[in-house]
Structure 1
Amino acid sequence: MSKIAALGYLVVRGPLEQWKEFGTKVLGAQLVEGADDSTALFRTDDKAFRLVVQDGEPGIDALVALGFAVADSAALDQLVANLTEKGIEVTEDAELAAARRVQRLVKFKDFDGNLIEAHVGQSTSNAPFVSPRGVRFVCGDLGLGHVFMSSTDAPKAAAFYQDLLGFRLSDTIALGEENAIFLHCNPRHHTAAFATFPGAPAALGHLMVEVGSLEDVGRALDLVRSGPFPVTMTIGEHTNDRMTSFYLNTPSGFAIEYGFNGLLVDDATWKVGHYEAPSIWGHHFAGAPEPAAAGGDA
């Protein structure tokens, strides 16, 4: 059983005014007030927020923290004990918990040095979620979406998440010199995925957000075609999670996969598979950038 329940939120760094336009007009997320003028928060469901953007320069280091939700305080205590036993430094941070609007929060780093904020008791807003574009996001117990990570050593990075955080293997795809590895912690096909590309540093490749209809995907694609945020990968359908999606650059530099109809995993019947290609159709690179730069993988 996974010690992590879902990707509760994501914290990134980027140009704030551009993100306010991108998050609302393109993604259809709801902008809510941050703690100060240097922070913007975005909602995609009934949670107080799902995405935190801290004002700053775009770049390969745009990822600030992965906010992974844990079921309850007992599970969080057990996670801390297991990590500490393995020699992982873990710190509980009450001040940061208050800022993230959770009851408890501990922080530690994964294999590649990415900061993880494992938390319990994520705040739910009393106000209804209202998308500026009328979009319904598929979140709830499945969490914000998934992250695709460029790693210095994908098998070791995936092993950290499997052995220490309890993620389970969904499948693999031949990608780059080694297989990309896809892991789930709840019924969403994957919440974290890892791949290694020659010369590419460890970084966030893309964040996937899932919407409730193919029409939502199509309308977003029409919007970005005439706007300042470039499409990095054309619309297509993935082999493993069957997501129909396209990819576009964020103001921070990493990509967003904007998708519909992702596969759900039932651990009682799921069989791990392997795929020789990431997509059944489509998903062609726009301008042919390198995969690691565009983050355009499953």
Structure 2
Amino acid sequence: MATISALLALCTACGSVTGNAESAGGSTGNTVPESSPVAHATTPGTTTGDTTVTPAPAPPAGLAVGALFSGDSHFCTASVIHSPAGNVVLTAAHCLSDGSGAEVREDLTFVPGYHDGAEPVGRWTVTETVIPAGWSSDSDPDLDFAFLIVHQDGNPASVESVAGANLLGHNRGFSHEVTVSGYPDSQDAPLVCHSTSSEFTTYQEQVACPGFTNGTSGGPWVTDVDPATGYGTVIGVIGGYQEGGDTADLSYSAYFDSDIQHLFDSIGSR
């Protein structure tokens, strides 16, 4: 069950709404349904026909992105961020709160690598939410990001140790080749889009990806992906302007600057 963090002067917690990642038109990137993240059994270093099988990264990189559930229904997307304790997950603030002093949504769980009903490393309970004060009080779209602290009952391991994690990036500029992932609330598998981000306003960025409708909010924008591991650096999440956009072809994100880094740093080793 989510608990509210009072974090410096920067963050408070409140509100509740479902995710929204319908966004406003433009040229499209290349979107494909993601294949199952569950690894097939192979023998490292063996050769089959013209294909050489090499050791896969462990844990599989596809597990770092997952679905955010309320009860039995997923409504937003989230992803694991590398942190000292390995318990931090990133999503959009509007997935947790509609701002203006409302309460934070409770009884949330995160399922890394969720795919067609499969939960490869189980469900992780959201035990704490970390939301910018500017979102909680004013629904500032330039602060539409939030962190979750998650744990699994009876399991001392961190979510990062079993699902892997991306790095958090800030002040990286606007133009990047990005991989955007999200779970439409009408589907049980994520969409994955490869596109290029660009500046929308001083504190907002945009990316053209078709099919990113309700439920994909909070989906990470990952750049500098290491081909050897599949992990990279998150520079945005679907949200921001119009809570992600009002058509399915163009999505937005608050620009990740020092505000998100300060919010992340306030978590410490939790």
TM-score, normalisation: structure 2: 0.27
Structure with more helix by fraction: 1
Q: Greater relative contact order (Cα 8 A, min sep 6): structure 1 or 2?
A: 2
